[in-house]
Chains A and B, each alone.
Chain A
């Protein structure tokens, strides 16, 4: 069963003559353990797709399921609970709360979901340690470098066994080495069983994904072939039939 499933999902804004289709008839399945990149130019609908996948917005038509649960029949509260428990977001500009330390930022979603402060803190520290930031846990965001802030944001997105990670241009303004480190972390989360969707216009980031879906004018127009097996890589004659 897919962790994330979109079936014939469309989203329009405005009405009548002013109606604009942000995305049209998107089908997308993301399995646990796999990383899918959505590539497309500005205005192609990448971010809309991500907010709908994460239940932050409702599709105009079509169906979204997370971990087998259809979102359309859920109450607002149930959706919020599902988001807190199952879905982690990583944004371009990190979105850390300036008044909270790194570990407080990471453990906040757990506390909001009813986990005790002590337990949430323990899990938050473990997530930070997993990303090599154990010694920065008590630092505030403005005391961290850009790369460290983004690692805190990733820790917050995967804390508490969340199984769906959604990232919008996750390397943001980071340099290429830190951008690569971000993708390695997302990939490591996938190897741990998380399903991840990364939207980006950057082919270097997208190439970390198992599958790349190309978006154009709100439609999924194409996607990469499944990755070659190690045998195909060793034998260039069989790799890349394209």
Chain B
């Protein structure tokens, strides 16, 4: 979560005091993403240093200063919103690694391993869904953030289901014989770094 851009977004709504920014920042994101509210004031100082925000400079205390966004700050915010995050590299996923390892070990029941993780993730999803049940009617931002988490967890369940099915198929079907003269497609070349 970018504190810098979240603060610019809050300032784009209109001038605000330091304590007000801290409070709004906390309520807008804190329920879903853990955050360090202590960074709010240092980030405000940096925004001012970089010309992206201005304060009235009357007050010494950061909490009492009134901040406004500059045109450069508006441009920075607009650029940030439209810049896609870097998703080109697959993350090193601990769960994927565990299932891959389990699938190779003769004494481990990989389906049991998959089920342990599936159950845990469904339980997490139940917790998130319960929060949405109570909150979503009056807090749209919260419901959107909870949905994002539910979709992320759901994609893990789908991968586990797919891995389960693929491993079962592989266990019943003999591995295809690969003739040595057939050139294997280069997965690395096809799926590798595009950047």
Cα separation A242 to B127 with both chains bound (whole Å): 13
Cα separation A222 to B150 with both chains bound (whole Å): 21
Cα separation A207 to B123 with both chains bound (whole Å): 7
Which of B123, B130, B154, B165 is in CB contact (< 8 Å) with A204?
A: B154
Chain A residues touching B, range: 20 to 34
State whether A207 touches B126 (Cβ < 8 A): yes
Segment at the interface with A among B40-48, B113-121, B170-178: B113-121
B125: interface (CB < 8 Å) = yes
Contact with A along B99-142 (1 / 0, CB 8 A): 00000000000010001101111111111111101000000000
Which of A203, A208, A225 is in CB contact (< 8 Å) with B154?
A: A203
B161: interface (CB < 8 Å) = yes
B10: interface (CB < 8 Å) = no
B157: interface (CB < 8 Å) = yes
Contact with B along A170-213 (1 / 0, CB 8 A): 00000000000000100100000000000001111011110010
State whether B115 touches A207 (Cβ < 8 A): no
B3: interface (CB < 8 Å) = no
B153: interface (CB < 8 Å) = yes
State whether A203 touches B127 (Cβ < 8 A): no
A68: interface (CB < 8 Å) = no
Residues A242 and B129 in contact in the complex (CB < 8 Å), given A41-B165, A204-B150, A204-B154: no
Cα separation A221 to B164 with both chains bound (whole Å): 14
Cα separation A206 to B150 with both chains bound (whole Å): 12
Cα separation A126 to B190 with both chains bound (whole Å): 59
State whether A228 touches B127 (Cβ < 8 A): yes
State whether B122 touches A212 (Cβ < 8 A): yes
Cα separation A41 to B128 with both chains bound (whole Å): 23
State whether A225 touches B123 (Cβ < 8 A): yes
State whether B165 touches A214 (Cβ < 8 A): no
Cα separation A187 to B153 with both chains bound (whole Å): 22
Besides A204-B129, A204-B150, A208-B133, 15 more A-B contacts (Cβ < 8 Å) are A184-B133, A201-B161, A203-B122, A203-B125, A203-B154, A206-B122, A207-B125, A208-B129, A209-B126, A212-B126, A214-B118, A216-B115, A221-B115, A242-B116, A242-B120
